[in-house]
Amino acid sequence: MLELAGIIILGILAQWVAWKLKIPAILPLILIGLLVGPIASEFLSEDGTKWIEPIWNGEKGLFPGEGLYYFVSLAISIILFEGGLTLKRSEIRNVGPVITKLITLGSAITFFGAGALAYFIFNLSWELSLLFSGLIIVTGPTVITPILRNIPLKKDISTVLKWEGILIDPIGALVAVLVFEFISVGGDSGFTKTALIEFGKILLFGTTFGFTFAHALAFAVNKKLIPHYLLNVVSLSAVLLVFVESEIFAHESGLLAVVVMGMVLGNGKLESIKELLYFKESLSVLLISILFILLAANINIEDMRLLYTWKTAALFGLVVFLIRPLAVFASTQGSKLKFNEKLFISWVGPRGIVAAGIASLFGSKLIKQGVQGAEYITPLVFMIVLGTVLLNATTARFFAKIVGVFLKRSEGILIVGASPFARLIGDYLENNGRHVVLIDSNQTNIQIAQEQGLDAINTDIYSEELNNNIELSDVGFLMALTGSKDINNYAINRFRGQFGESGYFRLITSDEIDDPDSIPKEALFSPTDDFSSLTEVSRKFPEIHETDINSRAHYEELIEITKAQEDMIPLLVKDKKGVLEVISSHNKAIENVGEGYKFVYLGKSIDSKTVAAKAKK
């Protein structure tokens, strides 16, 4: 009981330390596992036993027999399902082909390249070398997200790394499964036929079970067949059922099944999807915390000594600095990504939970089968996991600056609220070259925004989802456009440091209209228009106009006209280079405004010629 409680306490403590230091949690978790496991048995324990023994050894231990591996398998299935829920088709609009090549061509290069390196450097058999390379194909969102969260990058770079991390997990697992099956059948002449049959069964049953059960669960939820208080536990049970049933029909197909199930649910019309996501996210954090400590503690000191050689450094260096860049540059050939962007993607390739989990699973099974050299699998994979995470966690931000992908000024815009006029403004900004993301807790508003081609997220500002979304790393402007004064103020106070470093704004309230002296510096647009008036104007005249500015006097006259007209609201000024600047409620003159600039406004069209002539007088 003490050991189990200790694992949970240490795991959550490691998660907190990782959050505080802004590093992947996998790093402190593995270090803790090694400390209470092999290091404790060698240096800290008087009787040479581990402080935490994952497998029952006859005297102590948490899991008897195959219990640890069953727990690892089920836990990984839940983690992959949660990852599948976060995958959205709309996110890969610009980089879909790149991601496809990374998880196919890139995986093949990693598989054969790293396999050859393991064969020639460590003199392992081809079977074990390819098992090792199959395991290190995977990256993983649980390690990429913390690394990239605080690095301002273009959305395309973040999206490529996120999607690669999640989609490549089951691919690496499938490749490793095929190699494992080959080793298990003894590599006889029937291997090719056996492998093809196994691969076909995995694809067939994995996709079929995942797709079918996802639609069944969505139907049950949307038809209110499941009471609200049972929603999360029923969903968890469904995930475990899909994994186990798929495994029964095709061994090792369960991982694919749960990823497919998550992707179908995440991209479908499932009510309560956000609540389900929050539950699965919390559960995944707990499982990851327990898993990594258990798996690291399960390593023996003799396994670690196997790595105490120059061969380890050579293998690591070639995998990271040769194989990964080859895979990335081959996969991104002909894409819109620039050379420096490809270089950065090549640098960021940390391995995560799936690699470590399956390595422990297969490595131990092969050792029991007496396969020569199998003792290298788990420590070699853990070496790659620890090394890549440590390398990327400490150097990614610095390397981004060196290669020039670090955004000195974040030009992306986060709009809180997706009402009709917010969508109009967002669409205009998007069409003028700005990355715009709208967030709203109203599913209908988000759905309409997505149908318009806008990047929109169904969430609220009180959740942690925004903090963990690496695609928002290029956001530097914050605009709170909801009808709630409290929400707008909360958004400004909470996120102005993270998303408003270049500027943060909100709508004024009806109280501030009545008392102009109370209007804050971050107030948007007209000093006489709040959410209600913006909504009304956008309903009557749902169009944003541009009109040429001939002089400062002309600009001031345009401002006066919008004050006098109820159906016109000033929004922005566009300079000669197309750079947009927000008009504040204080109506302070924008610097250098004059000829060549454009006045951007919402509502009824202005007769610009009449205004210009009047301004000259």
| 311-354 pLDDT, tens digit each | 999 999 999 999 999 999 999 998 888 999 999 999 998 887 77
Mean of the per-residue pLDDT values for the chain?
A: 82
The burial of 281, by beta-carbon neighbours within 10 Å (0-12 exposed, 13-18 middle, 19 or more buried), is given as middle
What is the phi/psi pair of residue 129, to 5°? -65, -40
DSSP E strands, 126-274: none
Task: pLDDT band for 26, please (50, 70, 90 cuts).
Answer: confident
Q: Which of 500, 498, 518 is nearest to 508 (CA)?
A: 518
| Contact call for residues 18 and 282 (beta carbons, < 8 A) | no
pLDDT tens sequence across 57-102: 666 777 787 787 788 878 878 877 876 776 666 655 555 788 889 9
Q: Which helix (H) or strand (E) holds 439?
A: strand 436-440
pLDDT value of position 425: 93
Helix, strand, coil shares, percent, the chain, to 5? 65, 10, 30
Q: If DSSP states are collapsed to H, E and C, what string results for 568-604?
A: EEEEEEECCCCCEEECECCCCCCCCCCCCEEEEEEEC
pLDDT tens sequence across 429-455: 999 988 899 999 888 999 899 888 888
What sign does the dihedral 261-267-271-273 (CA atoms) show? positive
Task: pLDDT band for 188, please (50, 70, 90 cuts).
Answer: very low
pLDDT value of position 92: 57
pLDDT value of position 212: 93
Q: Which residue has the tokens 């566009």?
A: 574
Task: pLDDT band for 189, please (50, 70, 90 cuts).
Answer: very low
| Contact call for residues 385 and 352 (beta carbons, < 8 A) | yes
Q: Which residues is 505 bridged to in the sheet?
A: 479
| Contact call for residues 558 and 550 (beta carbons, < 8 A) | no
Max mean pLDDT among 9-23, 78-92, 534-548, 586-600 falls in 534-548
- Is the backbone of residue 277 left (phi > 0), alpha (psi -120 to 50) or beta? alpha
Task: pLDDT band for 185, please (50, 70, 90 cuts).
Answer: low
pLDDT tens sequence across 454-497: 888 888 888 777 776 777 788 888 999 998 888 988 989 888 88
pLDDT value of position 190: 47
Q: Which of 572, 514, 523 is nearest to 547 (CA)?
A: 572
| Contact call for residues 463 and 400 (beta carbons, < 8 A) | no
Distance CA 176, CA 202 (A): 12
Question: Does the structure show a pLDDT above 70 at 193?
Answer: no
Task: pLDDT band for 186, please (50, 70, 90 cuts).
Answer: low
Distance CA 56, CA 54 (A): 7
Sequence-separated (6 or more) residues with CB below 8 Å from residue 94: 156, 159, 336
Q: What is the pTM of this model?
A: 0.75
Q: Would you state the structure tokens that stand for residue 177, as one six-digit string?
A: 């499964």
Question: Does the structure show a pLDDT above 60 at 614?
Answer: no
Q: Which residue has the tokens 């103020």?
A: 489
Q: Which residue has the tokens 């000829």?
A: 595
